[in-house]
Structure formats: C-alpha cells, structure tokens
Amino acid sequence: MGAQINQQSAAAGQTVQSSYTTTDLCVKFKRTARTFLRWQSEKWPNPFPKPISASKGADNVYSAKAVDAWEAAGGLNAQVATSNE
C-alpha cells in the first residue's frame, strides 16, 4: 500500500506527493502508527501535523506539505520562536 502514494502532476512533468498514509509514514520514519499519535501532543515545541482525514481501522491521511515542512523544521526538536513580551 505504501507504493500507492497519492500524487498530483507538477510543472515540467514531475510528480509531487500530495499526501502520506499512516503506512507511508511508518516506512518513512521507521516508527509505529501509535508514535505519530504521541508526536501530535502539544507538549512538544513542534508537534507532528494532525491527519487531514482520520479513520478508525484504516490508514489516516496526512498532508505531505505539512509533514515535509515539519520534518524540514527539525521535527519534534525544532526551535520554535517565542516572544519575550
């Protein structure tokens, strides 16, 4: 199922991944589905993105843009700007 990733066409004939399933993320990060639920907790400075479509008994669907941005920002250990006001 991980090979059947949702994709959309982009300029110059490239394909861009538009979403990840829970199975895709388990493979990508080498973690269990339960781990992603824990990572969504607001106790983290940069929590994992919530699914755009959640299903009981089936894979959740996550925005690839949100997941990739989360990963690029440093994941759970990202430095989050705070104001000193």
- Domain extents in the chain: 7-73
Q: Name the residue with higher pLDDT: 55 or 85.
A: 55
| pLDDT at 55 (0 to 100) | 86
CA distance 85 to 35: 34
If you search the block for the tokens 């990733």, which residue do you land on?
5
CATH assignment of 7-73, among 1.10.10, 3.40.140, 1.10.1660, 1.20.120: 1.10.1660
Output the pTM of the full model: 0.71
Helix (H, G, I), strand (E, B) or coil at 36: helix
Please measure the distance between the N-terminal and C-terminal CA atoms of the chain and give it in whole angstroms. 48
| pLDDT at 83 (0 to 100) | 47
Q: Taking 70 as the threshold, does the pLDDT of residue 66 lie above it? A: yes
Which tens digits make up the pLDDT trace of 8-47?
Answer: 444 455 556 799 999 999 999 999 999 999 999 888 889 9
